[in-house]
Amino acid sequence: MQRSLLLVFFCGVIPAILMGQGYTFSAANETFSPLENATDLTEGQPWNNLQFKVPLDYGFEFYGEVFDTLYIRGYVHFDASDTYFINSFGVLFADRGNSPVLYKVEGNAGARITKIEWRNMGFWAEGFLAGTLQDYVSLQLWLHEGTNTVSVHIGPSSVVNPDTSYYGKTGPAIGVYHIKQYIPEFLIESLSLGGDPAKPEAIFNDHELNVCLSGTPADGAAYKFSYIPGGYSENVLSQVSVYPNPAGSVLFVNYEKGFRRNVELFVFSSDGKRIDCPSRLVNDHVLRFDVAGLNQGLYLIRILSGGEALQARFLKH
């Protein structure tokens, strides 16, 4: 059975901001820029099956594990058993005669981005069912050092035969996944996208691995999955409350166990960056935050106490 949670706030061009187990999600429109001076993993040669490896020298944390290698197919995975993986488009690609797979590392140490680009990709299903490779898509996957953010960027595409190219589905599968158990049934942590590609719905823990978008994302669509270390505690709502929510200039955090010397509090933006907010104790159980300087959007408060991590969310209007 699928479990879904949808929180949509209008804070930008396509300001869907959703929060799930270990990740936040946001959608936007960004100009797609093909990689330049990048390594061509296909070496300019025709290919039948994509299988490449790219080093992640800085180490990349994904669902609580740190990996130093990225395995590239039509999707990507981090471990040899293929249980930690990312669907950047979730279809089998085909070589249209000029369909390279490129990668490049940009930025300085501490904030590098590993970028993978699938350029001018055909659809294997169209070739198999119709004998043509008319449909195509270009896209990039970015892995951000430090924040461990995952983002998918859609480039030029044309899909005129979606029923064929998507092999009976309505669109691509895009999301982040950790399969914890295959047998006797799927036990999974995931955040995948469904519905309108312009305003996606976040579906959590898709045990049948069948969630997909209802169409082809437009050129410039960007989907960001921002990592929150530790995920969410199931008892957040019973032990932490925030008010007023949405907040204007002041936010109060009520922690039932009380604030002690060993309690640590952190505020994160929707892209996983830590935010400094002036605060003071009102009493042992209530903390006052000054949030007047924050931009409009969704934020996470994380409380570390006695070896447990509790989290609460608030909207700044």
Distance CA 43, CA 178 (A): 31
pLDDT above 70: percentage of residues in the chain: 85
Distance CA 138, CA 117 (A): 7
Question: Is the pLDDT reported for residue 214 higher than 80?
Answer: yes
Q: Which residues contact 257 (CB under 8 A, 6 or more apart)?
A: 239, 305
pLDDT above 90: percentage of residues in the chain: 50
Output DSSP code: residue 215.
Answer: S
First to last CA, the chain: 34
Q: Taking Cα atoms as reference points, which of 15, 32, 91 lies closest to residue 295?
A: 15
Least confident interval from 10-19, 42-51, 142-151, 256-265: 10-19
Q: Which pLDDT band, with edges at 50, 70 and 90, does 297 fall under?
A: confident
Distance CA 241, CA 255 (A): 7
Question: Is the pLDDT reported for residue 19 higher than 60?
Answer: no
**pTM listed for this prediction:** 0.71
Question: Is the pLDDT reported for residue 11 higher than 50?
Answer: no
Residue ranges of the domains in the chain? 3-227, 236-316
Top pLDDT among 236 and 78 is at: 78
Distance CA 138, CA 135 (A): 11
Cα of 245 vs its chain's centroid, Å = 25
- Average pLDDT over the chain reads 84
Least confident interval from 58-67, 101-110, 277-286, 307-316: 307-316
Distance CA 82, CA 66 (A): 15
CATH: 3.40.50.2000, 2.40.10.10, 1.20.1420.30, 2.60.40.10. Which one for 236-316? 2.60.40.10
Q: Which pLDDT band, with edges at 50, 70 and 90, does 159 fall under?
A: very high
